[in-house]
Structure 1
């Protein structure tokens, strides 16, 4: 049995961070999001490797989402079939963008930037990911590729086709009574009616547009890697200078 009561099955960059905050405001807290894979402890992220090799491992799936009442984005959406089986009352929300083309533009500038056709930008993206991407995020991308049958960061992959195929599969495999197709622009009412909870008297959260995503990634790289590297380099230079002046 899974602790998850609500599962967002939309692909990344369909308003999933806004959905995370919205679900938590509605009482489904905490809600797991792809961002959590960066800060999750090692033992939780080790479970991702287990699930990469065996998506049907219900014990690992339960342990990974233990304590969470909701999940959105990757990797949770990749396990929707298993989580539906584990929790017959699970409700699923398919977040979508206005058009597939808008989604493609967003992911090419952010999470699947390696899909860009330019050879230089593709190799630069590969280098940055190799240097700075957390192992858990790499594992999650492998789970995405294994689930979808295509690599979304490969410039040969048709992202619009991938988006449409995923959404069609969700609509075909999830019973209509358990699924809400939702654009965050619709606001609270359809979401609250689906979840049978009161409508808040505050605006629906709108977070993590492309500019914010890029700023957060730059901040993460700076804090996690560049600042320590500069500090170490400074210490080494100081020691060399001190040694030369003894």
Structure 2
């Protein structure tokens, strides 16, 4: 039986590449712009099966510096007063996703309008779910996972992994779900934030889907449901139908496990960072003690 770490191998592929050094190395073929919990991991796996390297939010876990640049992109989108705003054009997105030919899930989905404009040659897919089923999944996995009471503490001690990731979450909550309540107060979750997030979720989901349909030329857009599987997807993308089942992964249990594992990893990284900073202080203190003792 595999361990949780083995089931989520992205944590063991962590690197720290500067995304600003990336350029486009493969063509951007498809933008899958359905919001989280619309089969985004299954779509990423489907694209990989079709030979299209894909970007899903777990790629930020593999390379945490991506998260910082994505946060800058969201701030540039939502805050017109921000100094040194990103242009949110092809060049900026090539830094983030120049090594892939497809994208799914957040934070790319939040940049739907900008991505459709930046890559006019790319085809666009919108995976739609019944809004009530989507809400049940989103609320019980993503929102419930982020309500974990240790998260405010972990984000304070882990400035390179969970800290930037929750900066993204806060930006999406405030500007995409229109949540005015802050997520945390010092080192405690704010229940009012999550209550408002749940109240606004369905309206935000409907608005997202309508936005994708509005900004995408009809000839570039495929409205897709996972149960349709390979045939309409491959026809739309001009790819041969694979001789294998359509991927169905990242169920609710897997998402919950993934978030718990990320929190544990954030605690580990934070404690390691504290230990590294503490060692010089301890050594200095010992040196002072020894110097005083020898006098």
TM-score range (shorter-chain normalised) is 0.7 to 0.9
**Do the aligned partners of 1:74 and 1:140 also contact (CA within 8 Å) in 2?**
no
Q: Could you say which residue in structure 2 is the equivalent of 1:14?
A: 38
Structure 2 residue matching 1:12: 3-state secondary structure: coil
Q: Contact (CA 8 Å) 1:38, 1:136: kept in 2 or not?
A: no
Map of 1:117 onto structure 2: none
Rg larger for: 2
Structure 2: which 5+ runs fail to align?
Answer: 1-22, 78-86, 156-161, 181-192, 276-295
In structure 1, the gaps of 5 or more residues are 115-123, 234-246
- State the SS of the aligned residue for 2:222: strand
User: Residue 15 of structure 2 corresponds to which residue in structure 1?
Assistant: none
CA RMSD of aligned residues (A): 2.8
1:88 matched to 2:110? The reply is no
Indicate yes or no: 2:210 matched with 1:179: no
Distance 1:101 1:181, change over 3 A: same
Please, which of 137, 154, 168 is the counterpart of residue 140 of structure 1?
A: 168
Matches within 5 A, 1:82-231: 82-97=114-129, 99-113=130-144, 125=147, 127-132=149-154, 134-145=162-173, 147-148=175-176, 150-151=178-179, 154-156=194-196, 157-225=199-267
Please identify runs of 4+ aligned residues in structure 1 that moved more than 4 A: 226-229
Listed one character per residue, the Cα deviations across residues 204-232 of structure 1 (whole Å, up to 9, x for unaligned) are: 00001111111222233335536996xx9
TM-score (norm 2): 0.66
Equivalent pair of 1:4/1:68 in contact (CA under 8 Å): yes
Where does residue 49 of structure 1 map in the other structure?
Answer: 71
* Secondary structure of residue in 1 paired with 2:34: coil
Aligned to 1:32: 55
